[in-house]
Homo-oligomer: A and B are copies of this chain.
Amino acid sequence: MSNPVLVEVTRGQLVESRHRGMVSVIDADGASVMALGEVTTPVFQRSAVKSMQALALVESGAADAYGFGDKELALACASHSGEPEHMRLAGDMAGRAGLTEADFECGCHWSSHLPVLVDQARAGEMPDQLGNNCSGKHAGFLCLSCHAGVDHHGYVGYDHFVQSTIRGVMADLTGAALGHDNCGTDGCSIPTYAAPLDRIAHGFARMTSGVGLGPERAKAAQRLISACMAEPFYVAGTARACTELMQLAPGRIFAKTGAEGVFCATLPEKGYGIALKCEDGSTRGAEAMVGAVLAKLFVDDQELSQKLTSWTEKRLRNWNKIEVGMIRPAGELA
């Protein structure tokens, strides 16, 4: 089976490039609401499932023990842009467990937000691990480990308490078998697992509806999703898709991207879980797909649906700010 073209990029009056994708939307009862392309093919979940990976932080009592509020929990679920607020908070979270930047194992990179990168360079700074887009998640991992009294060294390893704990939670939530066979290494060095898209979507439907979860897990899931929706800047950053989508409909959309064109979302009021992937791994393709899918799912709310459509159809401008084309939904998402 092949994946359909769901997004096209135009220039002048012609289509210049095309993005194919697969989309699964599952309701609280596990029924399919929308299925486009290869929804049963395993895809690496990457950072789109950070909220699932943060469940143990809440369920274990670590989040309460360290006094984490919405901002901290949002950052634990984030792929942030390495803006100063993100970096400070990640350092602060680790500090509450008595740890420092040197204890992180995610690696360093510059801010992904160009103006911040330029500011950092001008100030003579060098990239550090707090600026890694995953540093909030890693701060959460460190806190989970310390709270459990487990040596945090090597917490990114497949066999470490942290990774085996979150692997169990994710397998439980999605019903997908996760192990060495479908494991890869993520950008920040932790294991990432390939799971069928419809299983991931179902996991998110359960996260947001609580259906089929024990009361503790349902509460933890709701707390994390609410935290992200309450503090969308801490989930991504300035001009980022996750942040903008959650700001567009406060409390009604949870959205989280992952590398290689993955995007997950939930609609709490409908109990839907959404998981999609742009076949070629591009971010612009995945962003247009998630916007178009959300616009379709909110078709009963014309104002919100229109806002989502406007957000999705990005006008492209060149270095002289001349409009040269657009990114727009195509095929079954048009």
Contacts and interface: CB of A to CB of B under 8 A. Distances in A.
Contacts of A110: 114, 118
Contacts of A325: 184
Interface stretch (A9-17, A161-169, A268-276): A9-17
B17 A260 contact: yes
Contact of A319 (B109, B117, B118, B122): B109
A194 to B, nearest CB: 5
A106 interface: yes
B183 A12 contact: yes
B280 A11 contact: no
A322 B108 contact: no
From A2, A117, A319, residue with most partner B Cβ within 10 Å: A319
Nearest to A106: B319
Interface stretch (A28-36, A61-69, A185-193, A306-314): A185-193
A17 B279 contact: yes
Contacts of A20: 20, 280
Nearest to A129: B319
A324 interface: yes
B324 A185 contact: yes
A18 interface: yes
A19 B282 CA distance: 10
Interface string A245-263: 0000000000000001100
Nearest to A182: B14
Given A121-B121, A282-B282, A318 B187 contact: yes
Contacts of A43: 16
A154 interface: no
A237 interface: no
A106 B105 CA distance: 42
A184 B14 contact: yes
A280 B17 contact: yes
Contacts of A9: 260, 281
A195 to B, nearest CB: 11
A44 B280 contact: no
A210 interface: no
Contacts of A11: 44, 184-185, 192, 194, 260
B320 A107 contact: yes
A40 to B, nearest CB: 14
B260 A320 contact: no
Nearest to A121: B121
Per CB-CB distance, the 9 closest pairs between chain A and chain B, nearest first, are: A107-B319, A12-B184, A17-B281, A11-B184, A121-B121, A280-B280, A107-B320, A185-B324, A118-B121
9 contacts: A2-B2, A13-B184, A17-B279, A20-B280, A106-B319, A106-B320, A110-B114, A187-B319, A187-B324
